[in-house]
Amino acid sequence: MLGEFINRVLVLLLGYAYPAFECFKVVERNNGSGIQELRFWCKYWIIVAIVTVLEKFTDIIASGFPMYAELKLAFFIFLWYPKTQGTVFVYETLLRPWIVKHEPQIEEKLETIRSKSGELLMFYIKNFTSKGQSMILEVIHYIISHSQSKTQNKTVSPKEIVRPEPSAPPLPDSIGRSWDYDPTTSQVYPFWPDDEDRH
């Protein structure tokens, strides 16, 4: 069993890239002889598109089967390989008869989807615009409020406290004056050691 990653790469290369390049070459030849080849590649891409859409709904169930990824790769190669030309078989015997039989119902459903998709797109554009504006404003408000709260809640270290310069030099202690601090008034005032009863 191939690794899942290797298998995905092979499906991309052999199921999409190689057929796309072959289709490109047919389109670029630009002569009348390539019409049959162009029809072949159009049929191939129709089948691949249907398989891809169906796979989105059945992948959860189908991927549990052993060798599912390898079978899918083999199916893509079967479709375009020159000796098998599986595209012609799948398109002419399975796909074309079913689509021709159900074409009016398919066309009606697709028309309904087309009309509703325009309304849905307008709904999403309108809601995204209004919700996008409110979301941007909320983000700006959040950033501003957080920047303000950080500056208001900033703790100040003792080194950051700006102390005013004294207006006069301090008196020498030899005079006998000392300084006292009153925590209730947050004031510093001089006093004489013998005046302690004045407090």
CA distance linking residue 33 with residue 41, whole number of Å:
14
Contact residues for 86 (Cβ-Cβ < 8 A; gap 6+): 75, 78, 79, 80
For residue 31, pLDDT over 70 is answered with no
- Give me the number of domains the chain comprises: 1
Q: Note whether residue 176 is domain-resident.
A: no
pLDDT by residue (tens digit) across 66-118?
Answer: 888 888 889 988 998 888 889 989 999 998 899 899 999 988 988 888 777 77
Please indicate, yes or no, if residue 130 is contained in any of the structural domains: no
CA triplet 174, 179, 180: central angle to 5 degrees?
150
Q: Which range marks the domain in which residue 61 is found?
A: 4-84
48 falls within a domain: yes
178 falls within a domain: no
How far apart CA 50 and CA 60 sit, in angstroms, is 17
At residue 30, the pLDDT reads: 67
The answer to the question of residue 11 being in a domain is: yes
Within a domain: 117: no
Q: Does residue 122 lie in a domain region?
A: no
Residue 72 maps to a domain: yes
- Give the whole-number percent of the chain exceeding pLDDT 70: 70
Look at 179 and 34; give whichever has higher pLDDT: 34
**C-alpha distance from residue 142 to each of 122, 145, 149 (Å):** 30, 5, 11
> Which three-class secondary structure state does DSSP give residue 179?
strand
- Average pLDDT of every residue of the chain: 76
The two structure tokens encoding residue 194: 């013998």
